[in-house]
Amino acid sequence: MKGLLAVSRVIDAVNGQIGRKVAWLIFVAVIIAAGNAVIRKIFNWSSNSLLELQWMLFGAVFLMCASWTLQVKEHIRIDIVNSMLPRRVRQWIELLGHIFFLMPFALLIVYHSVPFFLRSYAIDEQSLSAGGLAQWP
């Protein structure tokens, strides 16, 4: 049991480090969005690649920080119902929810996403928008 707890602490530490670092991409996305808006208003010029970069940064933050958000208990839950339940019941609800809903859903997403990613990467799929970015990331 001590070995599993040690592995769990290492996973939590790595997860926290990744989450804290990747969360800064939100700041980068805000700077890009603000810069794009200023350039569009001042120079009457805009770029699809800047807009797509914002979407990709948000997607990266969502995917790479979701587990950290779950770890620090900042994920969305129905607090009205949750707060009225005893602590032990809340812990069981979270455990069963993770086992029967979160993990199967995450595994299904990975299983069904990999073929799309591999195909997109193999053909170096590009955006349909003029001046857009590569789609595979």
**Residue 51, token pair as written in the block:** 């807009």
**Rounded Cα distance, 70 and 76, in Å:** 9
- Report pLDDT for 80: 80
pLDDT at 79 over 90: no
Torsion of CA 50, 30, 16, 78, to 10 degrees: -110
Indicate yes or no: pTM above 0.75.
no
With helix as H, strand as E and coil as C, how does the chain read?
Answer: CHHHHHHHHHHHHHHHHHHHHHCHHHHHHHHHHHHHHHHHHHHCCCCHHHHHHHHHHHHHHHHHHHHHHHHCCCCCCCHHHHCCCCHHHHHHHHHHHHHHHHHHHHHHHHHHHHHHHHHHHHCCCECCCCCCCECCC
Distance CA 133, CA 126 (A): 6
Q: What does the pLDDT read at residue 101?
A: 94
| Contact assessment for residue 17 and residue 64, using Cβ atoms and an 8 Å cutoff | no
Cβ–Cβ < 8 Å for 19, 71: yes
Q: What is the pLDDT of residue 128?
A: 82
pLDDT given for residue 11 in this prediction: 92
* Residues 125 and 135 sit within 8 Å (Cβ to Cβ): yes
pLDDT at 46: 80
Is 21's pLDDT higher than 90? Answer: yes
pLDDT score at 42: 93
Question: Tell me, what's the pLDDT at 86?
Answer: 93
Is pLDDT of 110 > 90? yes
- Looking at residue 33, its pLDDT comes to 92
